[in-house]
A and B are shown apart, each in its own frame.
Chain A
Amino acid sequence: MRRTLLTGNGAAAWGARLAEADYVPAFPITPQTEIIEALAGWSERGEMAGRVVTLDSEHSMLTAAAAAAATGVRVFTATSSQGLLYGMEMIYTAPGWRAPFVMVNVSRALASPITLEADHNDILAARDSGFLQIHCATCQEVLDSVLMAYRLAEHPQVRLPAIVNLDGFYLSFTREPVVIPDQEQVRRFLPPFDPGNVAFRADRPASQAALVLGGSLYSYFRYEAHLATLQALTAYEEVAQAFEREMGRRYPAVEAYRAEDAEYIFFLMGAYATKAKDAVNRLRERGMRIGVVRPRLLRPYPARILQELLRGRRAVAVIDQNLSMGMGGILYSELASALYGMKDAPMLVSYIGGLGGRDISTEELFTMAAQTREAADAGVTPEPRLLYTAAELREVRKMQTIAGSKLPGHMEGKNDE
């Protein structure tokens, strides 16, 4: 065990290395590329036994990943954003094979317009696929979650592929102190992959992923995958406890920070959660009883845990770093559905922020807290709010003017320079 400095991408690569992944089908995409570069380097230098093969696309990469898992080896892969979408046919296909593997997604906002920085629309597009999803807030958590994801995905009662998600830039390129566990420690926590009877062998020929005709068979297989996903809720507890015993770090399915006595809650996932914790510390100094609730496990959805954690609070500020066009925040609607009809359910206030890597400032967190308290006092749920300032819009106007957009006179951007 040693403590060193790693980026989120570095931590993800170390997770795959320590899990002793046998096979890494890869394809580069910003901001994920460093992960596969690190693994390719280790593999070339013989520091890691696993085989790294660069495919021609994410669709091919995911096909190779699932096919290798179905042949009975431990597979790691990584992608981001457009790449995740390019592979989406296989993202939906792979879970039905019931061949577990782990993929890291480095969240990056989706086109159009094409951009580079983080938000969560990419990973949420995989929400209904059957992949398990674990969301990270720190670089340490990235490494640890990759290890936990293998044990969860390979759990005999689960056997589904899993995605570990980290935010582009905010974690992927950000260095933090990270404890790298010893290989022996990891081996004690994570036994070798047992493919069971789902593997191609000369003496056990099988036809996998066969076509089904008729809704009855289809419903059965799909619902069984759903039931297996739900099993992952219980299995997760077992995995988290084993991890804590071995490594001394505890990762609940839903992290609750200073929430025991909180009247108000910031509800969000990913790297911005640490900023929300910071804001909570400042607000508590001013006497506001507020905390953070952050789902790490998004699939399976920990509805019961969320109900327990949020019951009796006055109000929750739900901060969605995503946007479902024509609907709003996805975390908000999922949380509303989990809490609907519950006695003593809190008011939910919806914020959309951090799209395309836009910062969410601490001042904004303070203001969200204040608005949420006011809304609870007034008993009226406000309309969803996009975190966006007048100064930002002024900048946009300037650029629209440069781009030649014919703006009405009152909108024209003044070029200060």
Chain B
Amino acid sequence: MFRIRFHGRGGQGMKTAANLLSRAFFLEGYEIQDAPRYGSERRGAPIFAYVRADREPILERGAITRPDLILVADDSLIHNPSAGVLQNVNSRTVLLIHSEVPGEVWKDRLQFPGTIIGLPLSAVARSGAQIPVVSASCTGAAAGLVGVIRRETLEPALREELTRLGESVIAQNLETALSAYDAMQPYAGCVKEGGALSAEDYAPPDWIEIPYEDSTISAPVIYRTATSEQIQTGLWRTRRPLIDYSHCNRCSWVCSTFCPDSAIHVDPDRTPHIDYEHCKGCMICLAVCPPHAIYMEKEQPAPIEGGAR
């Protein structure tokens, strides 16, 4: 069975990517299972979707814990712990990251046990292409890597899944998917089907009896305030607002009042500061700043530390 995970952000079309790939498998005669998984997080927050494909009817359920292939929509997700990109990876796992940074560099940085392939989105999508095209790239790359989906299967798969989006969107996605498929030909077939879990050689669960506990701790009550500040919603960001202090007129209120996330603080001397740990990158501050003192940069991946977790 192929067990494949797609990691992206709400709005990047990871559910669509999974749908497209599973349709392609299906057209090749596979039994498939696909599903998205999201919490309450919204646009910009990490989500994942998964696909299982097998020649036999699929009995497994739920999230994939032994991935054969992981596709990542953008490299800023790698070090976002809540994205869980690297969860349960093993030496058989192939990891494809949409990144300008080459795969070997990632493998070295992450001390990743399996294969890593870097695929710059710019290599497969026309400039000016809409963001959701990354989903088509994920699909095309996955189809190329598994080695059992023919190139000509991608078109009917995309057509069946994307009919309602219209011809121009389908064409754009197809072009991207085919480019990604072609780009993966040097690695075609490097993703191998994983076997079934052994009923003999496995790690048994460390079940415990949970004890009775007083209602003062065993009720869903949060006794501390503003604990949400421990959540780094800055990791959702794909665009970064920056303040050009030479143009900032120290109005003291516009950007900080309009920031919906309370993520712009103003010093007593009226200098605003953006809290990048929490700024979600909505860019409202950029839009409202009267002297246009806020500009935008594409978010760069966070500095890399440590290995796979």
Tell me if A205 and B215 are in contact (CB < 8 A). Answer: no
Tell me if B220 and A209 are in contact (CB < 8 A). Answer: yes
Tell me if B220 and A96 are in contact (CB < 8 A). Answer: yes
Confirm or deny: A238 has a beta carbon within 8 angstroms of a beta carbon on chain B: no
| Residue ID in chain B nearest A221 by CB atoms | B220
- Find chain A residues with CB under 8 A from B215 CB: 98, 159, 196, 198, 224, 228
Alpha-carbon separation in the docked complex, A196 to B215 (Å): 9
Tell me if B212 and A228 are in contact (CB < 8 A). Answer: yes
* Number of residues from A at the complex interface, CB < 8 A: 30
Mark contacts of B115-128 with chain A using CB atoms, 8 A cut-off: 1 yes-contact digit, 0 otherwise: 00000000000000
Confirm or deny: A213 has a beta carbon within 8 angstroms of a beta carbon on chain B: yes
* Number of residues from B at the complex interface, CB < 8 A: 16
Alpha-carbon separation in the docked complex, A217 to B39 (Å): 14
Which stretch, B86-94, B189-197, B221-229, B296-304, touches the partner chain A?
Answer: B221-229
Tell me if B225 and A205 are in contact (CB < 8 A). Answer: yes
Confirm or deny: A97 has a beta carbon within 8 angstroms of a beta carbon on chain B: yes
Tell me if B39 and A213 are in contact (CB < 8 A). Answer: yes
6 closest cross-chain pairs (CB), A and B: A224-B218, A98-B219, A98-B215, A227-B212, A207-B222, A159-B215
Tell me if A204 and B223 are in contact (CB < 8 A). Answer: yes
Alpha-carbon separation in the docked complex, A204 to B225 (Å): 9
CB proximity to A under 8 Å, residues B195-243:
210-216, 218-223, 225
- Find chain B residues with CB under 8 A from A157 CB: 212, 214
Tell me if A223 and B210 are in contact (CB < 8 A). Answer: yes
Confirm or deny: A274 has a beta carbon within 8 angstroms of a beta carbon on chain B: no
Confirm or deny: B163 has a beta carbon within 8 angstroms of a beta carbon on chain A: no
Confirm or deny: A367 has a beta carbon within 8 angstroms of a beta carbon on chain B: no
Confirm or deny: A210 has a beta carbon within 8 angstroms of a beta carbon on chain B: yes
Alpha-carbon separation in the docked complex, A97 to B214 (Å): 13
Alpha-carbon separation in the docked complex, A33 to B167 (Å): 65
Confirm or deny: B40 has a beta carbon within 8 angstroms of a beta carbon on chain A: yes
Confirm or deny: A57 has a beta carbon within 8 angstroms of a beta carbon on chain B: no
Tell me if B223 and A220 are in contact (CB < 8 A). Answer: no
Which residue of the partner chain, among B39, B40, B218, B222, contacts A228 with CB atoms under 8 Å? Answer: B218
Alpha-carbon separation in the docked complex, A55 to B210 (Å): 39
Tell me if A207 and B221 are in contact (CB < 8 A). Answer: yes
Alpha-carbon separation in the docked complex, A214 to B37 (Å): 11
- Find chain B residues with CB under 8 A from A1 CB: none
Confirm or deny: A327 has a beta carbon within 8 angstroms of a beta carbon on chain B: no
- Find chain B residues with CB under 8 A from A231 CB: 212
Confirm or deny: A402 has a beta carbon within 8 angstroms of a beta carbon on chain B: no
Tell me if B212 and A197 are in contact (CB < 8 A). Answer: no
- Find chain B residues with CB under 8 A from A225 CB: 218
Tell me if A224 and B213 are in contact (CB < 8 A). Answer: yes
Tell me if A221 and B40 are in contact (CB < 8 A). Answer: no
- Find chain A residues with CB under 8 A from B40 CB: 211, 213
Query: What's the minimum C-beta distance from A122 to chain B, rounded to whole angstroms?
Result: 27
CB proximity to A under 8 Å, residues B21-53:
39-40
Which residues does B use to contact A, with CB under 8 Å? 39-40, 210-216, 218-223, 225
Q: Can you list 25 A-B contacts with CB-CB less than 8 angstroms, sorted by A residue number?
A: A98-B215, A157-B212, A157-B214, A196-B216, A197-B223, A207-B221, A207-B222, A208-B221, A209-B220, A209-B221, A210-B220, A211-B40, A212-B220, A213-B39, A217-B220, A220-B210, A221-B218, A224-B210, A224-B213, A224-B218, A225-B218, A227-B210, A228-B218, A230-B212, A231-B212
Alpha-carbon separation in the docked complex, A90 to B225 (Å): 26
Which residue of the partner chain, among A197, A221, A223, contacts B216 with CB atoms under 8 Å? Answer: A197
- Find chain B residues with CB under 8 A from A198 CB: 215-216, 219, 221
- Find chain B residues with CB under 8 A from A96 CB: 219-220
CB proximity to B under 8 Å, residues A260-306:
none
Confirm or deny: A393 has a beta carbon within 8 angstroms of a beta carbon on chain B: no
Query: What's the minimum C-beta distance from B83 to chain A, rounded to whole angstroms?
Result: 15
Which residue of the partner chain, among B212, B216, B221, contacts A210 with CB atoms under 8 Å? Answer: B221
Alpha-carbon separation in the docked complex, A212 to B225 (Å): 17
Confirm or deny: A125 has a beta carbon within 8 angstroms of a beta carbon on chain B: no
Query: What's the minimum C-beta distance from A158 to chain B, rounded to whole angstroms?
Result: 8
Alpha-carbon separation in the docked complex, A299 to B42 (Å): 40
Alpha-carbon separation in the docked complex, A209 to B219 (Å): 8
- Find chain B residues with CB under 8 A from A213 CB: 39-40
Alpha-carbon separation in the docked complex, A23 to B222 (Å): 26
Alpha-carbon separation in the docked complex, A217 to B213 (Å): 14
| Residue ID in chain B nearest A160 by CB atoms | B215
Alpha-carbon separation in the docked complex, A230 to B214 (Å): 13
- Find chain B residues with CB under 8 A from A207 CB: 221-222
Which residue of the partner chain, among A156, A206, A210, A211, contacts B214 with CB atoms under 8 Å? Answer: A156
| Residue ID in chain B nearest A210 by CB atoms | B220
| Residue ID in chain A nearest B211 by CB atoms | A227
Alpha-carbon separation in the docked complex, A388 to B20 (Å): 61
Query: What's the minimum C-beta distance from A399 to chain B, rounded to whole angstroms?
Result: 52
- Find chain A residues with CB under 8 A from B216 CB: 196-198
Which of A156, A206, A208, A224 has the largest number of chain B CB atoms within 10 A? A224
Given A197-B216, A208-B219, A228-B218, 17 more A-B residue pairs with CB atoms under 8 Å apart are A96-B219, A157-B212, A157-B214, A198-B216, A198-B219, A208-B220, A208-B221, A210-B220, A213-B40, A220-B218, A224-B212, A224-B213, A225-B218, A227-B211, A227-B212, A227-B213, A228-B212
Alpha-carbon separation in the docked complex, A102 to B222 (Å): 25
Alpha-carbon separation in the docked complex, A227 to B209 (Å): 11
- Find chain A residues with CB under 8 A from B222 CB: 206-208, 210
Query: What's the minimum C-beta distance from B164 to chain A, rounded to whole angstroms?
Result: 31
- Find chain A residues with CB under 8 A from B212 CB: 157, 224, 227-228, 230-231
Alpha-carbon separation in the docked complex, A220 to B215 (Å): 12
CB proximity to B under 8 Å, residues A179-234:
196-198, 204-214, 217, 220-221, 223-225, 227-228, 230-231
Query: What's the minimum C-beta distance from B39 to chain A, rounded to whole angstroms?
Result: 5
| Residue ID in chain B nearest A231 by CB atoms | B212
- Find chain B residues with CB under 8 A from A97 CB: 219
| Residue ID in chain A nearest B218 by CB atoms | A224
Query: What's the minimum C-beta distance from B36 to chain A, rounded to whole angstroms?
Result: 15
- Find chain B residues with CB under 8 A from A227 CB: 210-213
- Find chain A residues with CB under 8 A from B39 CB: 213-214
- Find chain A residues with CB under 8 A from B213 CB: 224, 227
- Find chain B residues with CB under 8 A from A228 CB: 212, 215, 218
Alpha-carbon separation in the docked complex, A155 to B3 (Å): 51
- Find chain B residues with CB under 8 A from A211 CB: 40
CB proximity to B under 8 Å, residues A295-341:
none
Alpha-carbon separation in the docked complex, A18 to B27 (Å): 73
Query: What's the minimum C-beta distance from A347 to chain B, rounded to whole angstroms?
Result: 35
Tell me if A206 and B210 are in contact (CB < 8 A). Answer: no
